[in-house]
């Protein structure tokens, strides 16, 4: 099912503006063994040494999970042209398939280049060159830690290497970083597909803070510490993905599943209602990850990329 939306409400783009229909499962911060001990640890630190709590929390956040690749993902990578690109202190693993106008894929937090691998074949068959990469501290790229600034910079590094982009396709955290890179990091694209995106980068930090039990004051310290680290390059008041989308001058397709337990469906609704001409495909029963593998979603993404109207 797909919809054309027109803005009927004045959406502010703040993290509090969206009333969630259900609490998220906290995505890549889902419940794990020992989380009670972690929360007790931070509860003590937040009370007695809030500065240390902020530093340790950032260090923990900056180390994404690095799951092993499945045989299917390994096989997809073996069919690619692979190279490594320098990005700051890191080396990015970059993969390419096919020939033609370039499409850049941007994976989510704790994911990897071929997470959207089932889209690659249909896009190549449609006459496109598909490029994907492992972000810093993800997949086969170097680095043990990263954050949204380094992630967005990696998007820009790969985009510059690839050349003119016909389209960028981002999933989850990668969708928001693709939009961030387009606005603030010089990434130029003809269009963009955002699958299961959140509506504000603050939300990502808030979910982590709730997961480990940070107090609001310590979360603020951590945000300020991150902003100071990049000397003004990171301004949280400018990290609304809604505002980024409003400022974009290219066509956009949003895809989100109503049963997403990691990033609630309401986030994409907020994004689409803020725009005049964006296309929106809503699915159900697929959740956060299967949505990128579903044949109907892939068909509609290929149609949008190929200048066709999504049905």
Helix/strand/coil (H/E/C) assignment for every residue in 184-244: HCCCCECCEEEECCCCEHHHHHHHHHHHHCCCHHHHHHHHHHHHHHCCCCCCHHHCEHHHH
Each domain of the chain, given as residue ranges in start order, spans 2-8+25-65+95-305
- Residue 20: predicted pLDDT: 33
- The answer to whether 110 touches 67, Cβ cutoff 8 Å, is yes
Q: Which of 121, 270, 253 is nearest to 175 (CA)?
A: 253
Q: What is the mean pLDDT of each run of 10 residues along the chain (311 residues)?
A: 31 30 44 80 96 97 94 97 95 98 98 98 98 98 96 98 97 98 97 98 96 97 95 91 95 97 96 91 97 98 85 57
- Residue 276: predicted pLDDT: 80
C-alpha–C-alpha distance, residues 269 and 256, integer Å:
9
C-alpha–C-alpha distance, residues 301 and 126, integer Å:
11
- Is domain 2-8+25-65+95-305 given the CATH code 3.30.365.10 in the classification? no
């Amino acid at each position: 099912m797909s919809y054309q939306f027109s803005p009927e409400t004045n959406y502010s783009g703040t993290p509090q503006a969206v009333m969630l229909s259900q609490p998220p499962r906290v995505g890549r911060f889902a419940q794990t063994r020992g989380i009670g001990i972690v929360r007790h640890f931070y509860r003590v630190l937040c009370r007695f040494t809030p500065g240390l709590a902020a530093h340790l929390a950032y260090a923990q956040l900056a180390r994404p999970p690095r799951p092993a690749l499945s045989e299917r993902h390994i096989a997809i990578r073996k069919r690619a042209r692979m190279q490594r690109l320098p990005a700051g202190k890191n080396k990015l693993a970059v993969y390419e398939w096919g020939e033609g106008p370039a499409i850049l894929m941007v994976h989510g937090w704790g994911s990897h280049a071929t997470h959207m691998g089932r889209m690659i074949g249909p896009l190549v068959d449609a006459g496109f060159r598909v490029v994907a990469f492992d972000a810093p501290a993800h997949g086969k790229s170097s680095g043990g830690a990263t954050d949204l600034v380094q992630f967005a910079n990696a998007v820009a590094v790969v985009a510059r290497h690839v050349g003119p982009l016909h389209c960028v396709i981002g999933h989850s955290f990668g969708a928001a970083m693709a939009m961030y890179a387009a606005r603030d990091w010089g990434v130029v694209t003809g269009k963009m597909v955002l699958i299961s995106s959140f509506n504000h980068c603050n939300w990502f930090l808030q979910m982590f803070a709730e997961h480990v039990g940070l107090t609001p004051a310590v979360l603020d310290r951590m945000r300020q510490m991150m902003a100071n680290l990049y000397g003004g390059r990171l301004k949280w008041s400018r990290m609304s993905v809604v505002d980024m989308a409003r400022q974009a001058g290219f066509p956009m397709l949003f895809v989100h599943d109503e049963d997403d337990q990691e990033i609630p469906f309401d986030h994409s609704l907020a994004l689409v209602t803020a725009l005049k001409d964006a296309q929106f495909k809503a699915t159900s029963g697929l959740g956060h990850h299967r949505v990128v593998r579903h044949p109907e979603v892939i068909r509609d993404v290929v149609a949008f990329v190929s200048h066709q109207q999504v049905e």
